[in-house]
Amino acid sequence: MQDRLVLGTAQLGMVYGVAGGEVPSYERASCLLKSAWEAGVRILDTARLYGESEDFIGRFMSDTSFFFNVITKISGSRDDMQKQFQVSLSRLNLDSVYGLMLHHGKLLSGPHARSIVSFMLDQRDSGRARKVGFSCYDPDEALAAIDEFKPDVVQIPLNLMDRRFIASGVLQRLKDMGAEVHVRSCFLQGLMLMEPQLSSEKVKGVAPYVESVWRRAKDLGVSPMSLALSFCLSQPQVDLVVVGVDSPSQLMEILRTPIISAGQEIYRGLECDDLSIIDPRSWSR
């Protein structure tokens, strides 16, 4: 399974997610990166906005000669992106990256769309990025973006509760375009792994949906983590799943999680259409 997982590194460089976490340190980051490498994970997802994440990754790869395939993200105007990407490469101690993404697909609907597309293609053609694309939050954002740009790689949210990209047909459309599809929020920032009562303290109204996930998992004789991860990996259009963890033990728990081989019927009835629950941008912090 490790060949289909990407390690999300927001937690390496800053306190992230509804569960909070430890204050970042290089020692903690290097321990997690070493565990990921030894477990066979080879792709990291990062961004300039993820605190010290890029610095820690660059330092770790220089210290160990364990060279991950790195995806980073940029935003702003073409001039902003030029500067940001150069800074990111410097922080990562790399001449090129596996993937360069726009942090928000909506940038391709703005006034700088043409120059941004030109910049991204230049990075691919020059060899500074093997794949270029964008991250987005909802199907409409993705549809507007692909009107301007054919991505090599995209990152979208997908989980048992949030199936907007499946229901809208946009997930299939992205795959039909030839994009490498990465999905994030597999556990909805950890909410689906919390006791239902605790989850309600983090996000109002989520508890009944988390309870349904836990009940279904129990009926199937698996853990909520197994059910959630199996759902994402079972989608034929999905290439890779981005997971964020706080410790090596959490990563090992994910890697050891049994993956269910069954039809899509076992996942029915767990969807949620309430954006105030499934879209982290709407959560009160």
pLDDT for 20-70, tens place per residue? Answer: 566 679 999 999 999 999 999 999 999 998 999 999 999 999 999 899 999
**pLDDT at residue number 14:** 66
User: Which tens digit of pLDDT belongs to each residue from 160-189?
Assistant: 999 999 999 999 999 999 999 999 999 999
**284 pLDDT above the threshold of 90:** no
Q: Which residue has the higher pLDDT, 108 or 15?
A: 108
> What is the pLDDT at residue 127?
98
pLDDT at 13 over 90: no
Reported pTM: 0.95
What DSSP string describes 213-280? Answer: HHHHHHHHTS-HHHHHHHHHHT-TT--EEEEE-SSHHHHHHHHTSPPP---GGGGTT-----HHHH-G
pLDDT of residue 197: 87
* Structural domains in the chain plus CATH codes: 2-282 (3.20.20.100)
Residue linked to tokens 């060279």: 67
Query: What is the average pLDDT across 236-243?
Result: 98
Within 10 A of 87 (CB to CB), how many other CB atoms are there?
A: 13
Q: Are 72 and 101 in contact (CB under 8 A)?
A: yes
pLDDT-above-90 percentage for the chain: 88
Average pLDDT for residues 243-264, to the nearest whole number? 95
